Amino acid sequence: MATVLGGHYTVEAPISQGAMGAVHRALDGETGRYVAVKRLLDPTQIARFEIEARLLAQLDHPRVVRVVDHFRDEGNYFIVMELLEGESLQDRLESEGTPGLDVDDVIEWGVQTCEALDYIHEQHVVHRDVKPDNLILGDTGIVLVDFGVAREFGEDAKGTIAVGTPRFMAPEVFSGGHVSERSDVFSLAVTLTTLIAGEPPSYTDRAPLTGRYPGVTATIDSALRGGMEFMSERRIPSAAAFAEALGRPLTKREGAPLVSSLAAAEGAPRSVIENIVRTAAGVFDAAAASIALADRATGGLIFHAAWGAGAREIVGVRLPPGKGIAGAVHQSGEPIVLADCRTDPRFAADVARGTNYVPVTMLVLPLLRHGESLGTLTLLDRRDGEPYGPEDVSKAQLFADLAVSAL
């Protein structure tokens, strides 16, 4: 008897299997389309996984796999992705490598991967597991799949969480350090070196590739070694910079941003208020951020800009005076931090349901000018699954004060 997950995903066959988990091909009974379904293995990370999956579902770029659903089923958590036609670069390496692949092809695939990484990094998303298995080559080129959040989260001896695949992981990730876009650059540089050489380099092997592999120029060799610098601060800092170092600067930016706003706010350019909410989300590791400004006609609030999950739905929403957590902060001029906002009687649950995003933890700051509240800055759901607490308030209020100056 076939296994049915989430009420309408009929599992048919495994796509890939490994120590970190399995991806299965499944038929979506509601759409009639085939999808890839992956199960989270570590039940202690469900909160973090749910937050990340909701954010990944907002991504929209031709070189990034589309996340179409995430759900719980009998205590397990699953993420559903579009099923792509094509082969992974690992499959191509194993079938055609002699022992490696054509350098020109590898560099072209690398630049296409940079297009995907440049987009997701702009949206404050780090892939965490770039490797040949997760780069699918189809009719239109490379598509990046299987974000690291969908993998098992293991703890090292210090209790820190490391996500990724050994030999492709940046040193700071392997040691439980800070994960950033530079971590993905490291993994991509290792990936390209693997495709050229036929196997991953060791952490201690940083000998030049020029002269060893036909087609590897001094420019390419310098870029690969610059991407694999052990110290992240010395590494090529971004996917766009890595593409340029390879001699193929990115010439186009595609994909839908996760930020949305009204045409203008209090005379401030649209780009300013969008950059504020985008930066706030990045600084405070939030799954969503929004700015609501005072509605002088009613005394309530109007959400002018938002980033992340539910951004397009919340922009333009009006709150009557005093309604919701944001309304309470606007009236009092005092910040409110809640570990679980859903249990607070002031929480505007109807507004949250209208955006299809009901958060768990919330931090709301007043935007004060000369002691008067101009509106609020709201941060929702820390990406690590932990709650916002009193220790976050003072730093966030400083950011809110800076936002007022920018506006």
Catalytic center residues? 129
Token couple for 54: 């909701």
Residue type present at position 217? T
What is the rounded CA–CA span in Å between residue 111 and residue 274? 28
Residue 126's φ and ψ, nearest 5 degrees, are -110, 130
What is the rounded CA–CA span in Å between residue 223 and residue 237? 12
CA-to-CA separations, 383 to 13, 22, 30, 48, 194, in angstroms, rounded: 32, 24, 30, 6, 31
**DSSP H or E segment with residue 262:** none
What is the rounded CA–CA span in Å between residue 337 and residue 361? 8
Q: What is the three-class DSSP state of 285? A: coil
CB 79 within 8 A of CB 66: no
What is the rounded CA–CA span in Å between residue 26 and residue 6? 11
Pairing of strands 286-294, 87-88: unpaired
Token couple for 400: 């809110």
CB 347 within 8 A of CB 364: no
Q: What is the three-class DSSP state of 140? A: coil
Place of tokens 């209090």: 266
User: Which residues share a beta bridge with 289?
Assistant: 307, 379
Residues 6 or more apart whose Cβ sits within 8 Å of residue 226: 189, 235, 236, 242, 245
What is the rounded CA–CA span in Å between residue 126 and residue 325? 30
